[in-house]
Chains A and B, each alone.
Chain A
């Protein structure tokens, strides 16, 4: 909604660009699979076993990896009414506070998502149609929350450095 602060990783950074392009290509592949599956089912009576399952798992991976990119570019949905109305120094302080919350919450989620994935992997659970190891789609949450923890920690470090460099307003 408002102009974002300086992102942790510039959107033109080769890694960030590559990840974004991969996510775009993944969405295009999902469209192709969805349309092909529907057309084959209705026109030719051929059923792609597990197409719906694969689409849902792809969406979960897209959302979780996308969450890291969105965090790094500081473009999560938020009510930034207050953020856009405070002085630059206070804005950086607010951003640091947000990043503390994101880092803490996502680190907590990462620990327990990892614990869950280990359990799923240990019992060897597989998906209903494709018989994929269920640890694969579940691992997306570990990657998403783990990556977001790292991205927001980097943003926090950048905010703290900015606060340390910026001159304090003179006391009146």
Chain B
């Protein structure tokens, strides 16, 4: 069975087979040759994997992100962050991190953020003297903050898979996301001083007030979405719907940058992206179920228990596994396949599943830009025309910064859980 559940899927992954197909092929061959369970069960498992109300938030937040890019909301947010940062050393670099963080508070798609922020700021970063390698690394790695800052598609998938509250995961992700943004910004400032990059024009109150006025409706969007969830006005899924409606109203009637055809184009693109992601969810759910009925989680639990690892040791092992897996596997597959394997151990060791969800999300976020297969790297390569070799070398210092942040988040659970305990 190791052939159908391990060797075949890994080989197909390396050959570039669509990810949903490698899970489905592995599952089909296991059903055909090894399982005594009726193969019709595969339908029930895949249908059950999709028939989850929480997953509805995925298409809605993808659509909201598409509308935000199409209606110029993202451009106004970038302009506002640039006006706010002013004369801080490395202001343009810090603005790149800030823009990714702010856009992350509306959209849940890291790759879209890399494309939007990269197009807007990468040429200026290079012109101001940050260098191609540093700028490429900064844009690719900053986009991953999007995954940790709520609303986050990775958190929705983890919540659905681990049966945890998505609203709690969203609340718990705020401070870790801000910590990563702060550490990235601090690193950018230090490097800007060392390289001696040009500093942007100083803080201009009039310019700042004008950009604040122009970006006002865009800035209110994350406030509206997140406060709505945390104040209990609506569920995360309903918040996704409201985010779409808000973005349509702002794009169509406030900024007047979006036509109805533009709205439909965004809807079509979002439907296609949703299909790409959720078909993997269905196939990965089947694969994960087969692993479960074959006792893989129990074997892993027994193996780790035999090692008598303390909770910190288990979290260290999990971090290493997830960082390695994140280099090779897309976030959706990693979460859907690995969450059911880890959750029983997490619970048996007394680790808070919400805290673990955030640790897992940060790992997945780092995997988005770590070589060789981080998705953000390929987006930066395609959209900005940066060679992969430059990207690989450029992201390494930022990977070190984010792994340091990951260790703080892992071993200081209060940072993650303080928001939940306060409210």
Residues of A within 8 A of B (CB): 1-2, 20-21, 23-28, 30-31, 34-35, 37-38, 42, 52, 55-56, 59-60, 62-67, 69-71, 75-83, 94, 97-98, 101-102, 104-106, 108-109, 112-113, 115-117, 119, 137-138, 141, 144
Contact = CB atoms under 8 A, between A and B. Distances in A.
SS class, residues of chain B in contact with chain A: helix
25 contacts: A1-B378, A27-B267, A28-B267, A30-B241, A31-B245, A35-B242, A59-B274, A60-B51, A63-B274, A63-B278, A63-B279, A63-B282, A66-B271, A67-B279, A76-B279, A79-B14, A79-B330, A83-B16, A98-B21, A109-B28, A115-B40, A116-B44, A137-B51, A141-B43, A141-B46
**Contact-residue bracket for chain B:** 35 or more
B56 A80 contact: no
B24 A24 contact: no
Contacts of A104: 25, 28
Interface stretch (B139-147, B185-193, B231-239, B338-346): B231-239
B99 interface: no
B22 A101 contact: yes
B244 interface: yes
Interface of B: 12-22, 24-25, 28, 31-32, 39-40, 42-44, 46-47, 50-53, 55-56, 59-60, 63, 233-234, 237-238, 240-242, 244-245, 263-265, 267-268, 270-272, 274-280, 282, 328, 330, 332, 372-373, 375, 378-379, 382
A138 B47 contact: yes
A69 B55 contact: no
Contacts of A141: 43, 46-47
B328 to A, nearest CB: 7
Given A56-B52, A109-B24, A109-B42, A76 B264 contact: no
Nearest to B25: A105
Given A34-B237, A79-B14, A112 B39 contact: yes
